[in-house]
Amino acid sequence: MKRYDLVVVGAGPSGLSAAIEAAGRGMHVIVFDENEKPGGQLFKQIHKFFGSKEHKARVRGFRIGQELLEEAGRTGVEVCLRATVIGLYQDHELVVRIGDAIEHVKGDTIIIATGASENMVTFEGWTLPGVIGAGAAQTLMNLHGVLPGKRVLMLGSGNVGLVVSYQLMQCGCEVAAVADAAPHIGGYGVHAAKIARCGVPFYLSHTIKKAEGTDHVTGVEIAQVDEHFQFIPGTEKHFDVDTICIAVGLSPMSQLLKMAGARMADDPKKGGQVPVCGRFGATSLPGVFTAGDVAGIEEASSAMIEGRMAGAAAAAYLGFMNEDACEKREKQLTDSLSELRQGMFAPQNKGKQLTVTDEGIPLSKTLLTKGYVSDEEIEAFPGFTHRVGVHPVIECTQNIPCNPCQDVCPKNCISIGDQITALPKVAGGAECVGCGMCVASCSGQAIFLVDEDKGDGTAEVTIPYEFLPLPAQGTVGTALSRSGQPLCRASVVQIRSGKAFDKTNLLTMSVPKEFAMRARFFRADKEAAK
Amino acid sequence: MSERIAEHPILGKIEKGRTVKFTFDGKELEGCEGEPIAAALKVNGVMVHRYTKKTHQPRGIFCAIGRCTDCVMVVDGVPNIRTCITPLREGMNVQTQYGVSPLTFEEQAEKYSR
C-alpha cells in the first residue's frame, strides 16, 4: 500500500490549492481526481473573476486553472487522473478505482475537496433529451466546442444561470428567457444586466410547467407561481426551444466524509449535508481536512483560499510547519477570505432581502426583477456621472467584493477605497484619458466610457463587447437600451482589442446625444453582420 | 441540429483531435478523436442515447460530466458506457441502448420469448 504525507481527493480549485500549499512545505502529496483532466470546473469558467488583485480578479477562470496546474507541477504535486476515490476508511485508508483496478492508499493527512453536484427540479418531461444541467452546457460549449443547442430556456437566475446564459450567447446560442421561481434574481445584478441589455427577458416568480416533445425537447411552457410556489392558472407562456438548461443550485458532495464517520450537519445555508468543521477545514476526524464547496457552497475564489488553509493546516498537523509559521499563514489567508465574504451576497446575507446599499442608496427594484437598472434608478449611483468630455460611467449598483476598476485606472479617476465592497465613485478633478482599461477590466462589464456631447449632436459610448463576429469600424446598426430595447441608429467608430483587455473588445459607437446615457449595447444590422 | 463552434470570442479556436469515423446504429458518422462520444453524437444530431428498461422513455445527455448516467449506450458491445466521459476512438461501434441491450425492445421480446 502506497503511503503519502497528504492525499487530496479532487483536483478542482480547492484541492489543487491545498496540494500546492502542502507540497510547497515539503510534503509528499498526491491528488486523485475522477476526471480525464484536472482543474474541476475552472476550465469551463471563461468569464473574468471578481475580487481584488490577490484573488486574481479580472483573470478568466480557465487561466487561473492553467496557473494552478503549472504551480502544482513546479511544487511536485502528483496528480492521478481517472481515479475515483470510492472509500475512506479507518486509519486514513482510501480505496481508489484507477481505470479498472482498485488500489489502497494511505495518507497521513487527508483533504477532501470533492466539490459539489448540481441540483435538479422535476417537471413534466424533465427527463427528455434536451433538458440539461447548466454545467453540461458549459462542458459542451467551453470544453468540447459543441453548441449545447440553438435556442435555450434557462431555469435559475443565480450566478450560474446568469453566467451560463451569457456564455451560451457568446458561442452563438439564442437564450429565449431566464426563468426563476424566486421573486428576485439571485445572482449578481451586473451578470443579469449583461444579458438583459442583449434583449433576454427575465421571468421571475415563474417556473417550468412542462418540457414539450416526444423524443427530445421542442418547446417549453413556463407559468407564474404564487408565494407558495403554486402555479397560477392562465399565466402560462410558451417558448419554442430545443434546450432547457437547469441552474438551480449545487449540493456538497460530502459522501466520503460521511462514510468515514465525520460529524455532519444539515445546513441549508451551506447547501445541504456538510462536515462540521473546526478551524481551517479540520473535520471531526483527526488529520482529515476539507476545503471548497464540499464544506459549503461558495465559489472558486474562496475555494482556492480554503484549499490553501487546509493545506497549511495539514502541514502543521504533521509538523512540516511550526506553530508560529502556521498561525501567520492562516491569519493571512483568513484576512483574504474574509475580504471575499463581504457585501450583499456574502454567506451571512444569504436569504436576506436587502433594500439599500451600504451607502444608503435604494437598491434597484427593476434590476432584481427584470435584470436591468431603470433609467430613473441609475442616476442615484455614485459611479453614474455626467461630465464634459470622455469619462467612465459605472453602473455598479450592488455591494460586491471587487475592485479592479480602481486598480487599473492610470489616472486614478475611479475610487472604491479600502472597503472592497463599496460602490465605485468617479473621482472629481481627475482627468479620464479614455484608455478603456476600466471597461475591459470590470468583471461585471458594468463600466462604459461616454462622451456625452461631441459638439455635432452626437455622443460616443464605449461598451465591452465579447461576441463574434466583431463589428468592423463603420458598421451600422441599432443601439440597445439597458433593457435590450432598440433605441436609435448607431455606427461603430472604433474597435479596440488590446492584449491587456484579454478578449474584452472595446466597441465605441456613435449615437444621437440624447441617447448617450441610455445606449448600452450594439446590434449590427443583419446585412452588415455578414 | 447542433454544431461545432467554429471560433469562440474568448477561447478562439477550440483544439480538437483528428477527424475519425465511427458507427452509430450501423451508420457511419464522423467525430473528433478524443472528444466524448456524446459530443460527437450531438454534432451529428443524435439526441436519444437510450430508452429506459421499464417504461421505454428516451434519455440523452444530462450532466455531461459522468455523474448522472443518463447518456449510457452500448459501446463496442459493452452496455452502460457513459458516453459523456468516454473518449471517441476510430472505428468505435456505438449503439442505442434499449434497457441494457442494443436490441430493440421488439427484438428482445422476440428473442427471449422463445
The DSSP line for A236-269 is -EEE--SEEEE---EEE--HHHHHTT--EEEEGG
* B30 near A CB under 8 A: no
Residue A429's pLDDT band (cuts 50, 70, 90) = confident
In tens, the pLDDT along A259-284 reads 999 999 999 999 999 999 999 999 99
Q: Alpha-carbon distance A207 to A231, whole Å?
A: 8
Do A120-246 and A2-117+250-340 have the same topology in CATH?
yes
- What are the domain boundaries of chain A? 2-117+250-340, 120-246, 376-529
Tell me which residues of chain B, numbers 37 to 66, contact chain A at a CB-CB cutoff of 8 Å: 39, 42-43, 47-49, 57-66
> How far are the Cα atoms of A129, A525, B83 from residue B62, in angstroms, in the given order?
7, 36, 11
Measured between alpha carbons, how far is A524 from B16 in angstroms, rounded to an integer?
31
Question: Pairing state of beta strands A458-465 and A476-480?
Answer: unpaired
What tens digit of pLDDT does each residue of A379-427 get? 999 999 999 999 999 999 999 999 999 999 999 999 999 999 999 999 8
Q: State the ipTM, two decimals.
A: 0.97
With an 8 Å Cβ cutoff, is A498 touching chain B? no
pTM across the whole model: 0.97
- Give the pLDDT band of residue B2 (cuts 50, 70, 90): low
- Per-residue buried b or exposed e for A309-346, using 16+ beta carbons within 10 Å of the residue's own CB: bbbbbbbbbbebbeeeebeebbeebeebbebbebbbbb
What is the spatial distance between Cα A371 and Cα A316, in angstroms, rounded to a whole number? 47
CB contact under 8 A, A141 and B48: no
Instruction: Dump pLDDT digits (tens) for A320-362.
Output: 999 999 999 999 999 999 999 999 999 888 888 899 999 999 9
Residue in A146, A248, A250 to test binding to B, most B beta-carbons within 10 Å: A146
Q: CATH number of the domain at A120-246, please?
A: 3.50.50.60
Å from A407 to nearest chain B CA? 23
CATH of domain B19-23+32-113: 3.10.20.440
pLDDT for A197-216, tens place per residue? 999 999 999 999 999 999 99
The proportion of chain A whose per-residue pLDDT surpasses 70, expressed as a percent, equals 99
Sort out which chain B residues have CB atoms less than 8 A from A133's CB and list them.
62-64
| CB-CB under 8 Å, B61 with A136 | yes
The 10s digit of each residue's pLDDT in B4-23 is 999 999 999 988 999 999 99
**Architecture of domain A2-117+250-340 in this structure:** 3-Layer(bba) Sandwich (3.50)
Q: What is the DSSP letter of A495?
A: E
**Predicted local distance difference test score (pLDDT) of residue B1:** 43
Cβ B65–A172 below 8 Å, yes or no?
Answer: no
pLDDT one-digit tens code per residue, A51-101: 999 999 999 999 999 999 999 999 999 999 999 999 999 999 999 999 889
A320 to chain B, minimum CA–CA distance in Å? 36
Closest residue in A to B4 (Cα–Cα): A146
CB of A371 within 8 Å of a chain B CB? The answer is: no
Q: Residue B9: which of A127, A133, A503 has the nearest Cβ?
A: A503
The DSSP output letter for A356 is B
For A470, the closest chain B residue by CA position comes to B9
Residue of chain A whose alpha carbon sits nearest to that of B86: A36
For chain A, percent of residues with pLDDT exceeding 90: 95
